[in-house]
Structure 1
Amino acid sequence: MDLDTGGLNIPYADKIVHFTFYLVFAFVGSLSLRERTSGSLGLRKTLIIGLIFAILYGMLIEVLQYTLTTDRMAEFADVLANTLGAFAGIGLIRWFFSKKNPLKWKF
Structure 2
Amino acid sequence: MLKKPFFTIAFISWMMFVTFSSLFSFSGIDTPGLEIPHLDKVVHFTFYFVACVLGVLFLRERTSGKITLKKALIIMLLVTIAFGILMEVLQYTLTTERTGDILDGLANTAGSFCGAVAMKFYFSRERSLKWKF
TM-score by length of 1: 0.89
Corresponding residue pairs, total: 107
Q: Which residue of 2 aligns with 1:83?
A: 109
Structure 2 unaligned segments of length 5 or more: list them: 1-25
Structure 1 unaligned segments of length 5 or more: list them: none
Cα distance change of structure 1 residues 44 and 103 upon mapping to structure 2, 3 Å threshold: farther
Determine which structure has greater relative contact order: mean sequence separation of CA pairs < 8 Å that are 6+ residues apart, divided by chain length: 1
TM-score by length of 2: 0.73
- Give matches, 1:88-103, under 5 Å: 88-103=114-129
Which of the residues 82, 105, 110 maps onto 1:56?
82
Q: Root-mean-square deviation (CA), in Å?
A: 1.9
- Kindly indicate whether residue 76 of structure 2 is the aligned counterpart of residue 44 of structure 1: no
**Residues 55-84 of structure 1: per-residue CA shift (max 9 Å, x gap):** 000000111111111111000001000000
Deviates more, 1:95-104 or 1:55-64: 95-104
Cα distance change of structure 1 residues 5 and 101 upon mapping to structure 2, 3 Å threshold: farther
**Residues 73-100 of structure 1: per-residue CA shift (max 9 Å, x gap):** 0000010000000001111111222231
Quote the Cα distance in structure 2 between the aligned partners of 1:101 and 1:90. 19
Quote the Cα distance in structure 2 between the aligned partners of 1:101 and 1:85. 25
Q: What percentage of aligned pairs have identical amino acids?
A: 54
- Kindly indicate whether residue 57 of structure 2 is the aligned counterpart of residue 31 of structure 1: yes
